[in-house]
Amino acid sequence: MRIIIHGVGAIGGVVAAALLATGQEVIGIARGRMLEAIRDKGLTMISPKGRVTVDLPCVAHPSEITFRDDDIVLLCVKGQDTDAALQDLRAAGMTEQPLFCLQNGVANERVALRYFPNVHGATVMMPATYLEPGEVITHGAPCYGLFMLGRYPGGTDTDDETLKQAFDAANLAALLPASVMDTKYGKLLLNLGNIVDALLPHEADRGRFTGQLKAEAETVFAAAGIPWEEMGLDNPIREQFMKIVDIDGVPRSGSSTRQSITRGAGSVETDYLNGEIAMLGRLHGAPAPLNAAMSALAARLVGAGNGAGGMSEEDLEAVFLAAL
């Protein structure tokens, strides 16, 4: 078995390093400065267990890979990059190999099913960071991260079992829930606060904003008849497998959206998080003006080239009041 990781960022990088440390065959697909750094000095993972550097075979594009029948592909790009990544994989020769969407949001699996028959969801619970090329960080312990795996649109199969075994061996806790999408909708509720984290200073009170976004989304889920599983800190599974812990000299850098802005990535996935709630609300007669406002605000933030943490609580409160 070979595992192909399309998108060696925070999540893809930690997964790659952890798997390689067990002797698993892995090949990465990366771009830009990350690709250059990996080729030059390897991939370094920092965790509560220490620091490890691995030699990750890495290419710039799927066309550089000759696909094998025993490949498993992990899609780790952001939601806004999913369609292009899938088209590249198909053009490069991928056919019926299992594709796991290790991504935030709930839209990626449906898009993938348009191109490939063997699609799986993966709910990712991992406090991972990528800011410096060639270096990834996870603050997860005792396991580096927690993953819920399952076939899309439902059930599980031998591919899920195979990936679970590889992940468990690599200190990446993997579970096979009855419905992986229920857990992904639960994780979506958590990710609605990513843009709030990106907008406000680190010391700000985010809870009063994220709570409103989550409450609005729960109303939308009820109107749409969408079941979801709570994936927050109160979930006992998280307590068992993965807590967020401090690492001496390595501060946490915030949500994936904040990291994207800090790196100057040029785009964020808010349209596939808060924007998903706005779309569902429009489809099911349950307007979600707060989440819609966050999608629009994220677009303006990226378009203007502004950095993270530049908005005050008072300014964000004004945006919320104007949206209602």
The H helix count followed by the E strand count for the chain is 13, 14
Mean pLDDT of the chain: 96
In the chain, which stretches have pLDDT less than 50?
Answer: none
Using CA of residue 57, residue 108, residue 173, residue 190, what is the dihedral sign? positive
User: Which of 7, 199, 24 lies closest to 108 in space, CA to CA?
Assistant: 7
pLDDT of residue 143: 98
pLDDT of residue 239: 81
CB-based contacts of 42: which residues, under 8 Å, 6+ apart?
A: 53, 54, 55, 56, 134
pLDDT of residue 265: 80
The hierarchical CATH code for the domain 184-323 is 1.10.1040.10
- Tokens encoding 137: 């960080």
Q: Where are the domains of the chain?
A: 2-180, 184-323
CA angle 70, 73, 75 (to 5 degrees): 175
User: Which of 87, 92, 54, 49 lies closest to 71 in space, CA to CA?
Assistant: 92
pLDDT of residue 137: 98
CATH superfamily name and code, 2-180: NAD(P)-binding Rossmann-like Domain (3.40.50.720)
As a whole number of angstroms, the distance between CA 214 and CA 220 comes to: 10
User: 50 in helix, strand or coil?
Assistant: strand
As a whole number of angstroms, the distance between CA 154 and CA 257 comes to: 28
